[in-house]
A = this chain, B = another copy of it.
């Protein structure tokens, strides 16, 4: 069965996000000062072939843990749905 996963990898909330700060400052200069708390991470989409949703979830979790996120600086969330 084929599943689609959508993964977000974001900088840990306790850490400063310099890229987000820079974008926040640029938005302010553009007259969009109502926008604050900008944080920027990665969005990853992928397809996965698995027997069921539990197996797909386990594989995606392994991919996140072992390759896609750096636990020192980032956390991840994902959702899976049938393709």
**A residues in contact (CB < 8 Å) with B:** 8-10, 20, 23-24, 26-27, 30, 32, 34-50, 59-60, 62-63, 66-68
Q: Is the CB of B30 within 8 A of A37?
A: no
Q: Is the CB of B35 within 8 A of A59?
A: yes
Residues of B with C-beta under 8 A to A63: 27, 30, 32, 35
Q: Closest CB-CB distance, A36 to chain B, in whole Å? A: 5
Q: Is the CB of B50 within 8 A of A8?
A: no
Q: Is the CB of B10 within 8 A of A34?
A: no
| Cβ-neighbour of A32 out of B9, B23, B62 (below 8 A) | B62
Residues of B with C-beta under 8 A to A48: 34-36
